[in-house]
Amino acid sequence: MIDFRTEPGRYRHWKLKIDGAVAELVLEVDENGGLFPGYELKLNSYDLGVDIELYDAVQRLRFEHPEIGCVIVRSGRERVFSAGANIRMLAQTSHGLKVNFCKFTNETRNAIEDATLNSGQRYIAAINGACAGGGYELALATDYLLMADDGATAVSLPEVPLLAVLPGTGGLTRLVDKRGVRRDRADFFCTTEEGIKGRRAVEWRLVDEVVPRTQLLETARKRALESVAHATDRGNAGGIALSPLERTIEDSRVLYSHIKIVLDHDLAAATLTLRGPDGPPPQNAAGAHAMGDRFWPLAIARELDDAILHLRFNEDSIRTWVFRTEGDLRTVAAYDRFLAQNSSDWLVHEVTLYLKRTLKRLDVSSRSIFALIEPGSCFAGTLLELALSADRIYMLSGQREGEELPAATMILTEINFGALPMCNGLTRLESRFLDNREQIETLRCEVGNEIDAARAERLGLATFTPDDIDWNDEVRLAIEERAVFSSDALTGMEASLRFAGPETIESKIFARLSAWQNWIFQRPNAVGDKGALKRYGSGQRAEFDSRRV
């Protein structure tokens, strides 16, 4: 089982150093520390385990060290930054693991960019040697690329000529969309094994600055201090500790403090029930700080984040995720008001950003998603976003026979109208009602109101609203139907339907690039017995089918 829970004392591949307002993330990969047997992580190459640590470090820098204004990402090894994803690991792992590895790794790169854009934590890459493939993709996620000018250090994306695959974590898109590299130069760069070095790398916008090797770290720290001088002022903010996440795994259940997952392998479905807060929000931001990682929005974000990753990697035969909630609707709405009213506080701001990133992770997961809104549910605001992420929303009309619980309702809050955008830059409501501003304004007038099933259907907020007589059959048939369709076809269909509207760097990577990489990872030119991934390092050249398809 792959476990995404870690902390700095358990890191094998990264060292986190704090010096005032500047942090250093030092990559020094343990060659024998692969997540699976059968390969060595030479030349600072990485596998999923290396990136799990990086993701944890990026999270901790935001929550435990808000005083940090700049992070230097550098290598702890001489004359090599990173050789990228380990090739032997890619050659031996399953197709699904390769695709999910690329997806998670890119989500981590996105988290770095989000920290720069929204949290005032700028990232600088100090490139001291070979920086290839995924190593360069990591550097591309930073805000400033500084490279040693020593006649040997180069950046490269050699996946096409060497491996017959694509850079898997956004390199192609960031090259042209983020760094503005000219198309013809990008074409040459992505088809040469040697890479580009020195002044040409600066001229082509592949890096921002080159300096003599002996001045690399000194210059990186100088640039970091210059960045800190212009960083977002968080006052005398003190961080909060992220304690180990509590989780229990049983035969058919995964239990967190606020989330229960029940697995039904016969129907290939998982039901995730999220529990709302036990009491009202604190009176002020200081109260949230005092609660630390027990603050409900942060606790639920951490647990949902881990649950999504656990299901992605460890339960890949579960094809449908069904979301339910339990709790007091008004209390969830009260927490949303608290987040809005205290948005200038650094911790509240970070919690909201974490909720945004976690919901984005849900959006791009290759699973069918249903939401069930029933009596006793608390789909308000933040939790309503789960339903708005779903491919279908089923809302029970009226009460259940023999139950005293009132009929199900939902509540829209201000958080549904901007704070938690999808990777296409739109809110889930805007994606649902594309180019229909009138409907969005109609919904905004409903903020704070309890919306029952009949009104939810009229407003377009529910797909189906069966009564108690039909509820069980309709929900059961929907899940059973999903279990007999082709998973491949569902993945393509859902990804095409979820992200209406404009493209962004993120949506291009997750939709266009992920789709192509998914396909290329199955082609004989890459993974066949005579393919590039299988023959890499053997001394034999790959044999390619020359037909373009």
Over residues 389-400, the pLDDT tens digits come to 999 999 999 999
Among 3.90.226.10, 3.40.1030.10, 1.25.40.10, 3.40.50.300, name the CATH number for the domain at 248-490: 3.90.226.10
Name the percent of the chain lying above pLDDT 70.
99
- Three-state SS for 427? coil
pLDDT given at position 548:
86
Among 3.30.470.20, 3.90.1150.10, 3.90.226.10, 3.40.630.30, name the CATH number for the domain at 9-229: 3.90.226.10
Name the percent of the chain lying above pLDDT 90.
94
**pLDDT over 90 (residue 549):** no
Question: What integer is the mean pLDDT of 122-139?
Answer: 98
**pLDDT over 80 (residue 231):** no
pLDDT given at position 105:
96
CB-neighbour burial class of residue 543 (10 A; exposed 0-12, middle 13-18, buried 19+): middle
Residue-wise pLDDT tens digits, 50-67? 999 999 999 999 999 999
Rounded Cα distance between 498 and 496, Å, is 6
Rounded Cα distance between 77 and 75, Å, is 5
pLDDT given at position 238:
87
pLDDT band at 512 (very low <50, low <70, confident <90, very high): confident
**pLDDT over 90 (residue 329):** yes
pLDDT given at position 515:
83
The full set of domain ranges for the chain reads 9-229, 248-490
Dihedral of the CA atoms 249, 255, 412, 62 (nearest 10)? Answer: -70
Exposure class string for 350-375: b at 16+ Cβ within 10 A, else e: bbbbbbbbbbbbbbbbbbbbbbbbbb
- Look up residue 162 and give its two tokens: 């060497």
Cβ atoms 523, 155 nearer than 8 A: no
User: pTM here?
Assistant: 0.97
pLDDT band at 514 (very low <50, low <70, confident <90, very high): confident
Residue-wise pLDDT tens digits, 515-540? 888 889 999 999 999 999 999 989 99
pLDDT band at 513 (very low <50, low <70, confident <90, very high): confident
pLDDT given at position 272:
98
End-to-end CA separation in angstroms for the chain: 37
pLDDT given at position 232:
67
Rounded Cα distance between 281 and 339, Å, is 9
Rounded Cα distance between 483 and 532, Å, is 35
Radius of gyration of the chain, Cα coordinates, nearest whole angstrom? 24
pLDDT band at 228 (very low <50, low <70, confident <90, very high): very high
pLDDT given at position 423:
95
Residue-wise pLDDT tens digits, 167-223? 989 999 999 999 999 999 999 999 999 999 999 999 999 999 999 999 999 999 999
Is 248-490 the same fold as 9-229?
yes
Question: What integer is the mean pLDDT of 23-46?
Answer: 97
Q: Which of 217, 73, 210 lies closest to 148 in space, CA to CA?
A: 210
Residue-wise pLDDT tens digits, 409-452? 999 999 999 999 999 999 999 999 999 999 999 999 999 999 99
Rounded Cα distance between 376 and 274, Å, is 12
Rounded mean pLDDT of the chain? Answer: 96
